[in-house]
Amino acid sequence: MMHRRHLLAGLGTTLFAALAPGALRAAPIKPGDKAALLVIDVQNCFLPGGSLAVKDGDQVVPVINRIAKAFANVVLTQDWHTPAHVSFASSHAEKKPFDLIDLPYGKQVLWPDHCVQGTEGASLSKDLVIPQAELIIRKGYHKSVDSYSAFTEADGKTTTGLGAYLKAREIDTVFVAGLATDFCVAWSALDARKAGFTTYVVEDGCRGIDAQGSLAKAWTDMAAAGVQRIQSTDIAV
């Protein structure tokens, strides 16, 4: 006769097999009125053919368009640099794109000229279809300081006003997607956590640059800060 302990163990294994993996998967997230989607820098300069193109950057657009339907609150951001911005390699003699320099606010990666105010490269992708978007936050328009985050410039103290806006709307949760994962998306997500928001990054709604291991570091930093990494299929649309 089979020992009762073995029988129970067998039944448990059978039950687990019957449930996994689908039955153990978390239910899709349904964004409510207190959630906002932040669409980060989906601009022509970061898309194929742009001056700072992110590999496969255009592939985030259909993902973002689809999940945006689930949100009543959507905010878009735009890099909006002055000509000869401090973050441009062309502004520094004998420097080239992706060099690292020291500025008063810390380390600065130097970039190709991109997203200059009023240019076609700075325009949002024409393929974005988010008619309910309520706000565009422009950042990086101070010539002497960069601004990756949607919330705070690179000096760590100058705010864009986004945090106050969201809190005034009683929003407590943000979902972040866009370009690039390891820079403006990650910095926005980290600052969202600092501001007290529950924060999700939609991984397949982002693409990264991955300069010298920056993508892996970004995910590590976000995880340590409590940012939750999800896929677009985790959102109920």
Query: What residues are annotated to the active site?
Result: 41, 139, 184
What is the dihedral angle through the alpha carbons of 102, 105, 107, 112, rounded to the nearest 10 degrees?
Answer: -90
Looking at the DSSP bridge assignments, the partners of residue 74 are 37
Query: CA-to-CA distance for 161 and 150, rounded, in angstroms?
Result: 9
Query: CA-to-CA distance for 11 and 7, rounded, in angstroms?
Result: 6
What is the dihedral angle through the alpha carbons of 165, 171, 174, 175, rounded to the nearest 10 degrees?
Answer: -110
Of the candidates 188, 219, 180, 230, the one whose C-alpha atom is nearest the C-alpha of residue 59 is: 180
Burial of 100 from C-beta contacts in 10 A (0-12 / 13-18 / 19+) = exposed
